C-alpha cells in the first residue's frame, strides 16, 4: 500500500507495469466529497507518490457510485468567515496540492464512474486524460452557491474546453452527461460502465508506451490560452453577451467575477493564473449573495433532513385519490402518476375530468417531444390516472387529497362524505390555500386522520408542499403526507395551522402593501419593475394576474377575518376594484395587464390604459414614490409577517421559513429568504426602517421578536 487513508487509498493495480490506483473511497460515508479530512489525505497521498520512483502511471477511481460530489460546503463555509486575505492564502496553499498532483512525473487518467462535481470535477482536470462511464456526470456548479471554481477549475477548464465552453459551464452551473461532456471537452472518451477502469488503465499504458503524448496534454494546461488577442476578445464578447443576457451581475456577482478572472488569467502561466483565480474566488466568497446562497444550500439540507425524520412513521401509500379535477386536482393527479403512483381522480362534472386528462396528456406530450419520455411510458403514466364520477374504489385508497372549490361549506360536506367511504386509517388531506385545517376538521369523525397538503400552482413545476398540522392531526397523518409529497417529487415543509398557513399568510400582507401603494397613486408598472429588479420573478401586479384576482380577493377576505389588525384594510383596494370590474387576470385575459396568446400558446402581457382609468376610482393621492420606498414597504410587509409566523410557531425555524418563501413564491434566491434579508440589512437597522413606516399600519410595525433581537444583538443565522 502506498497510502492508506480513511478517504483515499493508493496502491498498485499492476506493480510490474508500475500502474497505481488513486482511489477515493470514504470508509465512513456513502459519498465521496472534499471535506477537511479528504483534503489532508490528498496532500499526504500526493507526498507519498512524490517519494516513490517506481510509478509509471496512475488512474484515479472512486469506490462509490458518485465519483466525488464536490467540496463539503458545511465544512468549507467556515473558511468564508476569514478575511479575504486569509481566505486567499488558504486557497492558494490548497491549490499547490492540485499542482503537485498535476506535476507528478507520470501520466494520470481519471475514471469517472458517477458525478464529478465542483472540486470533484477539478480533481479530474489535473489528470492528463478523463474517461467517463455511461453513468458519469461532470460539472462546475459553484456559482449556484455564489462562488466559482477555486481549485484551478477556471484555469484548466479554459485551456481544455475553450473560452466559450468554460464560460457556459461556470455560468450555467449545469451537469454534463457523457455525450455532452465529450462534446465540450470535459472528457476524452466515454465507455460502458463496466469497461471504465480497464479503459482508463489501457489509456495509461498507451501513455507509458509513448503512443499518446501525455506531456503535451499537460503542457496545454500549464500555458496561456492558445488564442490571439483578437480571437480572445471575440470569444469573451460573445460569451459575456450570452451570460449577462440571462444573469444579472448585480444579483449574481460570482458569475461576473468568474468571467473577469478567466479573462485576466487567459494569458498567464498556471502558477500565476492560480493567484488570479484565488483572488476572484475570495472576493466572491465574501459577497452577501454567497452568504445567502450557501445559507440556502444549508437550509435545503435542513428541510430534507426534517422531511426524512417526519416521514419515518409513514403508512405505505400504494394508491391515492384526488377530489376535484380542476387546475389543482388535475395537476396533483398528473404529478402522482408521473412519479409512478396510481391515483383516482374524482369530479362531479365529466367535462372537468376530460379537461384534467387533456392537461395531463399535454404535459406528457411535451416530455415525449423533449425525449424525456417514450410514447409507451406516456401511455403507462396516463393509465395510472383513473378519472371517475363516483366513489366506487375509494374503499381501497390510502390517502384522499381534497382539491374542490375554495368554499368551507362545500369542503366540509365533501370531506364528511368521503370520510364515511374510506378505510378507517386512510388519511384525508385538504389542498385548501387559506381555510384553517382545525376548522375543517370539525366536520369529521376522525380529525386525527385529517391534515393540510398545500400544493402550489402549477403543481408539476412548483417544488414546495406545505403539510399543515391541525390541532388534532396525528403524527402518523403528518408522516404519511410528508412521505407522499416526497414520493411525488416535492419538498414538504411541516407547518402549524392558521388561516393562509405559512406562505399565503405572508403573501397577503405583501399584496396589502401593493394595494396601499396603488391607493397613494403609485403606478403599478413602476412597482412591478422595481420588484423585478429587486429579484422577484414577477412583480405583484403581474403575480396577482397569474394567481387570479378572484382567487386573490377571496383569499384576502379569509385572511382579513383571521388577522383583522393587519390584513383588513379600511378602504377598497385596487385589486378588489379591478375584480369587481370583471378583470380576473390571465384567466379571462384582463387584469392589471391585458393578455394575448403568443405563437407558443402562452399568455403575453401588455400594458392596458383602461387599468389606469379604473384605478382612479380607488386613488386618494398621486404621490411620486421613489424605488427604495417601494422596496422597503413591500419587503417590510412580507418579512414582518414571516417573523410573526415564527413568533406564533406556525413555522419552526428561520431556515424552513426562508426555504418556503423561495420555493413557494419565488423570493429572490440570492437574497436567501426573508429572515436572511433582515439579517443582511441588520436586525436593528431593519427595526428602524419598520419604525419609519409604522404609521402606515400594523403590518409595518416591527414584530416584538425583532425588537428583542435588535436589543440583544441577535440574528437569525
User: Which residues belong to the active site?
Assistant: 454
- Rank residues 40 and 457 by Cβ distance to ligand NAD and give the closer one: 457
Give the C-alpha separation, 46 to 40, whole Å: 10
> How does DSSP classify residue 694?
G
Give the C-alpha separation, 242 to 173, whole Å: 14
Question: Could you tell me the smallest distance in angstroms from the CB atom of residue 327 to ligand NAD?
Answer: 4
539 binds ligand NAD, rule: CB under 6 A: no
Alpha carbons within 13 A on the beta-carbon side of 273: 25
**In angstroms, how far apart are the furthest CA atoms of the chain?**
90
Among 61, 113, 431, 642, binds ligand NAD (CB under 6 A): 431
Give the C-alpha separation, 58 to 66, whole Å: 20
Contact (CB, 8 A) for 188 and 130: yes
Stretch that binds ligand NAD, among 210-218, 224-232, 320-328, 578-586 (CB under 6 A): 320-328
Sign of CA dihedral 141, 144, 150, 154: positive
Question: Could you tell me the smallest distance in angstroms from the CB atom of residue 578 to ligand NAD?
Answer: 18
389 binds ligand NAD, rule: CB under 6 A: no
Question: Could you tell me the smallest distance in angstroms from the CB atom of residue 655 to ligand NAD?
Answer: 23
> How does DSSP classify residue 8?
E
Q: How many other C-beta atoms are found inside a 10 Å radius of the C-beta of residue 714? A: 12
Q: How many other C-beta atoms are found inside a 10 Å radius of the C-beta of residue 44? A: 15
Q: Report the run of H or E that residue 494 belongs to, with start and end.
A: strand 491-496
Question: Could you tell me the smallest distance in angstroms from the CB atom of residue 370 to ligand NAD?
Answer: 25
Could you give the string, one character per residue 546-585, with x where binding to ligand NAD holds by CB under 6 A and - elsewhere? -x--------------------------------------
Stretch that binds ligand NAD, among 1-9, 100-108, 157-165, 325-333 (CB under 6 A): 325-333
Give the C-alpha separation, 428 to 481, whole Å: 9
461 binds ligand NAD, rule: CB under 6 A: no
433 binds ligand NAD, rule: CB under 6 A: yes
Question: Could you tell me the smallest distance in angstroms from the CB atom of residue 391 to ligand NAD?
Answer: 9
Question: Could you tell me the smallest distance in angstroms from the CB atom of residue 91 to ligand NAD?
Answer: 45
Q: How many other C-beta atoms are found inside a 10 Å radius of the C-beta of residue 623? A: 12
Give the C-alpha separation, 162 to 540, whole Å: 42
457 binds ligand NAD, rule: CB under 6 A: yes
Q: Helix, strand, coil: what percent of the chain each, to 5? A: 55, 15, 30
Q: Considering CB under 6 A, how many residues would be counted as binding ligand NAD?
A: 25
Stretch that binds ligand NAD, among 127-135, 307-315, 319-327, 466-474 (CB under 6 A): 319-327
Question: Could you tell me the smallest distance in angstroms from the CB atom of residue 425 to ligand NAD?
Answer: 22
326 binds ligand NAD, rule: CB under 6 A: yes
Question: Could you tell me the smallest distance in angstroms from the CB atom of residue 296 to ligand NAD?
Answer: 23
- Rank residues 545 and 701 by Cβ distance to ligand NAD and give the closer one: 545
Could you give the string, one character per residue 328-367, with x where binding to ligand NAD holds by CB under 6 A and - elsewhere? xx----------------xxxx--x---------------
415 binds ligand NAD, rule: CB under 6 A: no
Question: Could you tell me the smallest distance in angstroms from the CB atom of residue 223 to ligand NAD?
Answer: 56
Give the C-alpha separation, 558 to 488, whole Å: 29
Give the C-alpha separation, 165 to 158, whole Å: 8
Q: Report the run of H or E that residue 430 belongs to, with start and end.
A: strand 427-430
- Rank residues 136 and 452 by Cβ distance to ligand NAD and give the closer one: 452
325 binds ligand NAD, rule: CB under 6 A: yes
Q: What does residue 112 show for φ and ψ, rounded to 5 degrees?
A: -90, 105
- Rank residues 432 and 680 by Cβ distance to ligand NAD and give the closer one: 432
Stretch that binds ligand NAD, among 281-289, 406-414, 585-593, 705-713 (CB under 6 A): 406-414
Among 9, 124, 432, 473, binds ligand NAD (CB under 6 A): 432
- Rank residues 363 and 618 by Cβ distance to ligand NAD and give the closer one: 363
- Rank residues 455 and 563 by Cβ distance to ligand NAD and give the closer one: 455
Q: How many other C-beta atoms are found inside a 10 Å radius of the C-beta of residue 72? A: 18
Question: Mapped to the 3 state alphabet, what secondary structure does 583-652 carry?
Answer: CCEHHHCECCCEEEECCCCCEEEECCHHHHHHHHHHCCCCCCCCHHHHHHHHHHHHHHHHHHHHHCCCCC
Cα 708 → chain centroid: 32
- Rank residues 158 and 432 by Cβ distance to ligand NAD and give the closer one: 432
- Rank residues 69 and 453 by Cβ distance to ligand NAD and give the closer one: 453
490 binds ligand NAD, rule: CB under 6 A: no
324 binds ligand NAD, rule: CB under 6 A: yes
Contact (CB, 8 A) for 643 and 706: yes
- Cα–Cα separations (whole angstroms), residue 505 to 225, 296, 454, 508: 54, 22, 13, 6
Among 290, 414, 444, 651, binds ligand NAD (CB under 6 A): 414
5 binds ligand NAD, rule: CB under 6 A: no
Among 406, 528, 632, 656, binds ligand NAD (CB under 6 A): 406
Question: Could you tell me the smallest distance in angstroms from the CB atom of residue 214 to ligand NAD?
Answer: 58
Return the C-alpha torsion angle 165, 166, 168, 170, nearest 10: 160
Residues that bind ligand NAD (CB under 6 A): 323-329, 346-349, 352, 403-406, 410, 414, 431-433, 455-457, 547
Amino acid at each position: 500500500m502506498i497510502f492508506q487513508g480513511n478517504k483515499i487509498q493508493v496502491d498498485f493495480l499492476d506493480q510490474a507495469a508500475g500502474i497505481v490506483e488513486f482511489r477515493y473511497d470514504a470508509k465512513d460515508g456513502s459519498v465521496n466529497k472534499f471535506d477537511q479530512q479528504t483534503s489532508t489525505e490528498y496532500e499526504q497521498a500526493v507526498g507519498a507518490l512524490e517519494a516513490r520512483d517506481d510509478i509509471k502511471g496512475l488512474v484515479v477511481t472512486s469506490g462509490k457510485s458518485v465519483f466525488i460530489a464536490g467540496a463539503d460546503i458545511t465544512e468549507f463555509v467556515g473558511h468564508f468567515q476569514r478575511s479575504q486575505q486569509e481566505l486567499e492564502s488558504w486557497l492558494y496553499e490548497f491549490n499547490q496540492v492540485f499542482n503537485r498532483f498535476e506535476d507528478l512525473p507520470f501520466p494520470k487518467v481519471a475514471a469517472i464512474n458517477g458525478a464529478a462535481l465542483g472540486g470533484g470535477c477539478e480533481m479530474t482536470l489535473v489528470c492528463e486524460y478523463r474517461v467517463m462511464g455511461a453513468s458519469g456526470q461532470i460539472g462546475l456548479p459553484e456559482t449556484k452557491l455564489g462562488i466559482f471554481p477555486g481549485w484551478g477549475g477556471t484555469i484548466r477548464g479554459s485551456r481544455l474546453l475553450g473560452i466559450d465552453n468554460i464560460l457556459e459551464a461556470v455560468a450555467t452551473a449545469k451537469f454534463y452527461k457523457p455525450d455532452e461532456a465529450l462534446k465540450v471537452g470535459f472528457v476524452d472518451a466515454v465507455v460502458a460502465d463496466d469497461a471504465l477502469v480497464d479503459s482508463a488503465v489501457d489509456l495509461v499504458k498507451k501513455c507509458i508506451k509513448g503512443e499518446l503524448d501525455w506531456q503535451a496534454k499537460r503542457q496545454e494546461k500549464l500555458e496561456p490560452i492558445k488564442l490571439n488577442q483578437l480571437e480572445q476578445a471575440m470569444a469573451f464578447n460573445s460569451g459575456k453577451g450570452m451570460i449577462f443576457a440571462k444573469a444579472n451581475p448585480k444579483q449574481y456577482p460570482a458569475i461576473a467575477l468568474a468571467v473577469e478572472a478567466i479573462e485576466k488569467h487567459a494569458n498567464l502561466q498556471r502558477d500565476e493564473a492560480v493567484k488570479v483565480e484565488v483572488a476572484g474566488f475570495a472576493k466572491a466568497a465574501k459577497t452577501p449573495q454567497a452568504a445567502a446562497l450557501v445559507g440556502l444550500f444549508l437550509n435545503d439540507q435542513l428541510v430534507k433532513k426534517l422531511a426524512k425524520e417526519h416521514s419515518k412513521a409513514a403508512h405505505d401509500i400504494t394508491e391515492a385519490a384526488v377530489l376535484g379535477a380542476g387546475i389543482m386536482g388535475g395537476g396533483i393527479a398528473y404529478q402522482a402518476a408521473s412519479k409512478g403512483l396510481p391515483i383516482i381522480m374524482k369530479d362531479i362534472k365529466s367535462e372537468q375530468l376530460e379537461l384534467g386528462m387533456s392537461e395531463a396528456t399535454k404535459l406528457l406530450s411535451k416530455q415525449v417531444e423533449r425525449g424525456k419520455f417514450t410514447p409507451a411510458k406516456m401511455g403507462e403514466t396516463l393509465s395510472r390516472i383513473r378519472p371517475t364520477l363516483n366513489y366506487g374504489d375509494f374503499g381501497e385508497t390510502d390517502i384522499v387529497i381534497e382539491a374542490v372549490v375554495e368554499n368551507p361549506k362545500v369542503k366540509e360536506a365533501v370531506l364528511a362524505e368521503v370520510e364515511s367511504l374510506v378505510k378507517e386509517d386512510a388519511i384525508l388531506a385538504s389542498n385548501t390555500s387559506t381555510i384553517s385545517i382545525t376548522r375543517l376538521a370539525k366536520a369529521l369523525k376522525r380529525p386525527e386522520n385529517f391534515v393540510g397538503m398545500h400544493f402550489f400552482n402549477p403543481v408539476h413545476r412548483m417544488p414546495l408542499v406545505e403539510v399543515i398540522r391541525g390541532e388534532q392531526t396525528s403524527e402518523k397523518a403528518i408522516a404519511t403526507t410528508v412521505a407522499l409529497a416526497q414520493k411525488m417529487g416535492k419538498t414538504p415543509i411541516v407547518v402549524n395551522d392558521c388561516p393562509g398557513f405559512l406562505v399565503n399568510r405572508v403573501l397577503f400582507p405583501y399584496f396589502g402593501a401593493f394595494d396601499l401603494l396603488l391607493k397613494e397613486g403609485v403606478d403599478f408598472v413602476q412597482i412591478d419593475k422595481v420588484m423585478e429588479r429587486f429579484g422577484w420573478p414577477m412583480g405583484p401586479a403581474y403575480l396577482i394576474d397569474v394567481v387570479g384576482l378572484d382567487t386573490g380577493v377571496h383569499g384576502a377576505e379569509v385572511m382579513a377575518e383571521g388577522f383583522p389588525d393587519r390584513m383588513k384594510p379600511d378602504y377598497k383596494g385596487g385589486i378588489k376594484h379591478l375584480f369587481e370590474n370583471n378583470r380576473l387576470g390571465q384567466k379571462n385575459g384582463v387584469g392589471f395587464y391585458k393578455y394575448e396568446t403568443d405563437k407558443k400558446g402562452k399568455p403575453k402581457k401588455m400594458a392596458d390604459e383602461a387599468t389606469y382609468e379604473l384605478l382612479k376610482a380607488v386613488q386618494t393621492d398621486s404621490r411620486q414614490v421613489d424605488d427604495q420606498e417601494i422596496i422597503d414597504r413591500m419587503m417590510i410587509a412580507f418579512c414582518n409577517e414571516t417573523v410573526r409566523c415564527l413568533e406564533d410557531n406556525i413555522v419552526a425555524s428561520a431556515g424552513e421559513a426562508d426555504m418556503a418563501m423561495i420555493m413557494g413564491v419565488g423570493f429572490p434566491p440570492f437574497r436567501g429568504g426573508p429572515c436572511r434579508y433582515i439579517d443582511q440589512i441588520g436586525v436593528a437597522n431593519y427595526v428602524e426602517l419598520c419604525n419609519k413606516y409604522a404609521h402606515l399600519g400594523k403590518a409595518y410595525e416591527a414584530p416584538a421578536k425583532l425588537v428583542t433581537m435588535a436589543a440583544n444583538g441577535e440574528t437569525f443565522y
